[in-house]
Structure 1
Amino acid sequence: MADRFANDPGTRIRQATEAIEPRLVEIRRDIHAHPELAFEETRTAGIVAAELARLGIPYRTGVGRTGVLGTIEGGRPGPTLAIRADMDALPIHEQTGLPFASTIAGKMHACGHDIHTATLLGVAEVLKGLAPQLAGRVVLVFQPAEEALGGAAAMIADGAVEGVDMALGFHNMPDMPVGRFGYCRGSTLAAADRFDLVVRGRSGHAAHPSDAIDPIVAAAFVSQAQTVVSREIDPLHPAVVTIGMFHGGSAPNIIPESVELRGTVRTLHGKARDTAEAALRRLAAGLEAMHRVRCDLRYNRGVPPLVNSDRVLDPAIASVRAQFGDVVEEGRPSMGAEDFAEFAERVPAFQLRIGSGAPGRNDHLHNAGYQPDERCIGLGVQALSRIALDILS
């Protein structure tokens, strides 16, 4: 009986994880106390490199500026699976009061990337021990600058997906109880684009508007932009246009020379994304024709939508169920953005949602009081290790 359980992959993964979980929590707390923003993750990358070296896993630093790539070769040939974790923190002043709270004012791991980094290090150790059973190769991707939505592209430019056949990502979810896992089929996170509209007129006295060209009429753009979503995009394709900045004028009796608006466009589908950009450009041109102003619209496309591939999702969810039982739930898409989408645009990919909600708490990501349940680290290690083992079996 003992031998049978020792050969069971679920039992082996669980036992291996339990043996290293205290160390992973220590690593997480160390990283949490020393947060680093996008492309500043030199200390965190150093911790990762030291752990990979301790495990005898070949690695490369400086990938995408501050990223780290590790490689585990299996005992037999087969496909290559990349597993990605992000490492950067946020410009938030922590208010948790934890003994391992951020030691750097104005910086905090409020999205759990410290959790992610520790989790992938645990996966590295478990899979290193299982390497003879793997048919293929695992690439460990420790990515910088997810919050700036530029780290994935930087690592890819440095060869992070060369030879990769599929990719696996993950994120802790405080709105899901620890011990639960989630997924979403198809488009799961939005494309995130930004625009900057400068409307130029001619300044003048408020008493003589006919002698001026009033750029404040650009306020019409704020409401007109909402008709892009309500009247031009398929109502079954979610889209959000938000104008978060509107600057112009210096006094109530002066018509200003110019005003500036800045906003974002979030879409889950490529067609909706194209429609939104074209419509906003048309609206800006309409302002020029109607109000005699000049409009300079700069539209910058950010990360694409994150689209989960059934080719990776289906076996991954089957593996999680095999490891834990019926603890998996199908969720809804989110209009948030994630640059793991850059990997998913190039190879079949899936992002697993890992419950991190602590009992009695109602935490949210990007919040100064955010406190994930650290048990999600070990559970994440088990889930991701089982997925990799099953896919590469």
Structure 2
Amino acid sequence: MHINDPGRIIRDAAERLAPALVAIRRDIHAHPELAFEETRTAGIVAAELARLGIAHRTGIGRTGVVGTIEGGRPGPTLAIRADMDALPIAEETGLPFASTVAGKMHACGHDIHTATLLGVAAVLRDIAPMLAGRVLLVFQPAEEVLEGAAAMIADGAGKGIDLALGFHNQPDLPVGRFGFARGACLAASDRFDLGIRGRSGHAAHPYAAVDPIVAAAAFVAQVQTVVSREIRPVHPAVVTVGALQAGTTYNIIPERAHLKGTVRTLHQAARDTAEAAIRRLAEGLEATMRVRCTLDYQRKVPPLVNDDRVLEPVLSAVRAQFGEVLEEGEPSMGAEDFAEFAALAPAFQLRIGSGAPGRDDRLHNADYQPDEGCIPLGVQALGRAALELLS
């Protein structure tokens, strides 16, 4: 072992582990499991941790797994988190290891994440005497529905965490590059369901009915003013109505309409303003459109805020391991429930380039094909980051 060269130890281990990690990734990819269904995936994780001699607990947050590696000296507790769930998408890649489960696919790379963290587990086990503190390996279910992190924390997975490190594959970065954003990097995600009840009637006699479709259309138009006229322009926000269901045929005014929408914000003030505005607009429909409204507004996850106390050491570790491979990016209005762990302790989410040469991939795409070369590189980056944070 190259005792005085931890970067080389980590690199050699990651390269040695790469074929086995790719095989694990392909196995998980072929057998995708949706939120809180990840029993097979969790079984693979538990079996690998057991093979490595790493103490672990299963059934955390229903289907989550937490492994523990004790360092050689006292120090803080670092949680490194990977998500495990797939999406309800019919795969169209044609790969030999494509999904064998109809209508389910790893189209966001959580199979990549799971395999990567297993590689990190193997590396950190071997260099544990060099660590000052403890590492929690958090294999989380149900990220896609933004409920798995909260479920694991409710089962005690967040207890005693001093630092948290997350990561996500990034197809708009080529393999070998890494990205980051400072401060709030991912948005709070809230959602609303608005039920509108009118009075059904014949389409030829609208005066004898109360039309919920017209009321719904008015709400859709009005809700666009929340961002443009009520939230400060320097506070990014998105309000989107993603579904509107009403009626069955040409000549009947229906009794009900139902809308579903999402609200994304990076700042607490904007989050509060958006919710208050949507509630006021729903109440206004009752007065102006003669309908009755039922609004169910749910706050899901807070913004994910990258803390410099974790970000800077991780960037230093990546530079030490690879050289100048970092790209500073912008915040995204996407959401990620790693934010629940970041609310407990200083945290940072690293973006790991997964773009394959000649492809223009996007997450949540039925033809998504990340470059598996990102797995051993992710192992190196995260392993070196853990060493830096627990030095």
* Structure 1 length-normalised TM: 0.97
Matched, 1:363 2:361: yes
Q: Any idea what the Cα deviations from partners look like across 1:244-269, whole Å, max 9, x if unmatched?
A: 21122233333222211111111111
Q: Which residue of 2 aligns with 1:329?
A: 327
Deviation at 1:206, TM superposition (A): 3.0
Deviation at 1:208, TM superposition (A): 3.1
Q: Which residue of 2 aligns with 1:376?
A: 374
Aligned-partner Cα distance in 1 for 2:338–2:148: 9
The question of whether the paired residues in 1 share the 8 Å contact of 2:305 and 2:342 is answered with yes
The question of whether the paired residues in 1 share the 8 Å contact of 2:184 and 2:305 is answered with yes
Map 1:96-111; keep pairs closer than 5 Å: 96-111=93-108
Aligned-partner Cα distance in 1 for 2:161–2:96: 40
Q: Which residue of 2 aligns with 1:15?
A: 12
The residue type equivalent to 2:299 in the other structure is: R
Q: Which residue of 2 aligns with 1:263?
A: 261
Q: Which residue of 2 aligns with 1:220?
A: 218
The residue type equivalent to 1:123 in the other structure is: V
Matched, 1:65 2:71: no
Q: Any idea what the Cα deviations from partners look like across 1:299-338, whole Å, max 9, x if unmatched?
A: 1111111111111101111110111000001001111111
Aligned-partner Cα distance in 2 for 1:363–1:250: 38
Q: Which residue of 2 aligns with 1:188?
A: 185
Q: Any idea what the Cα deviations from partners look like across 1:83-141, whole Å, max 9, x if unmatched?
A: 00001111111111111111111111111111100100000000000011110000000
Aligned-partner Cα distance in 1 for 2:245–2:42: 40
SS in 1 for 2:243: strand
SS in 2 for 1:317: helix
The counterpart of 1:53, out of the listed 50, 53, 68, is: 50
Aligned-partner Cα distance in 2 for 1:247–1:99: 39
Deviation at 1:213, TM superposition (A): 2.2
The counterpart of 1:276, out of the listed 253, 274, 277, is: 274
SS in 2 for 1:301: strand
Aligned-partner Cα distance in 2 for 1:208–1:48: 63
Matched, 1:129 2:120: no
Larger CA deviation: 206-215 vs 20-29: 206-215
Map 1:34-183; keep pairs closer than 5 Å: 34-183=31-180
Deviation at 1:209, TM superposition (A): 2.8
Off by >3 Å, runs of 4+ in structure 1: none
Long gaps (5+) in structure 2? none
Q: Percent of pairs identical after alignment?
A: 77
Deviation at 1:210, TM superposition (A): 2.8
Aligned-partner Cα distance in 2 for 1:183–1:260: 39
Aligned-partner Cα distance in 2 for 1:205–1:52: 65
Q: Which residue of 2 aligns with 1:310?
A: 308
Aligned-partner Cα distance in 1 for 2:143–2:222: 32
Deviation at 1:6, TM superposition (A): 4.7
The residue type equivalent to 2:326 in the other structure is: V
The residue type equivalent to 1:164 in the other structure is: I
Aligned-partner Cα distance in 2 for 1:319–1:231: 43
Q: Any idea what the Cα deviations from partners look like across 1:189-222, whole Å, max 9, x if unmatched?
A: 1111111111112222333333322222311110
Map 1:294-305; keep pairs closer than 5 Å: 294-305=292-303
Tell me how large the CA RMSD over aligned residues is: 1.2
* Structure 2 length-normalised TM: 0.98
Aligned-partner Cα distance in 2 for 1:177–1:240: 28
Aligned-partner Cα distance in 1 for 2:344–2:161: 9
Aligned-partner Cα distance in 2 for 1:63–1:134: 25
Aligned-partner Cα distance in 2 for 1:152–1:366: 20
Q: State how many pairs are aligned.
A: 390
SS in 1 for 2:224: helix
Aligned-partner Cα distance in 2 for 1:164–1:339: 16
Aligned-partner Cα distance in 2 for 1:208–1:364: 48
SS in 2 for 1:14: helix
Long gaps (5+) in structure 1? none
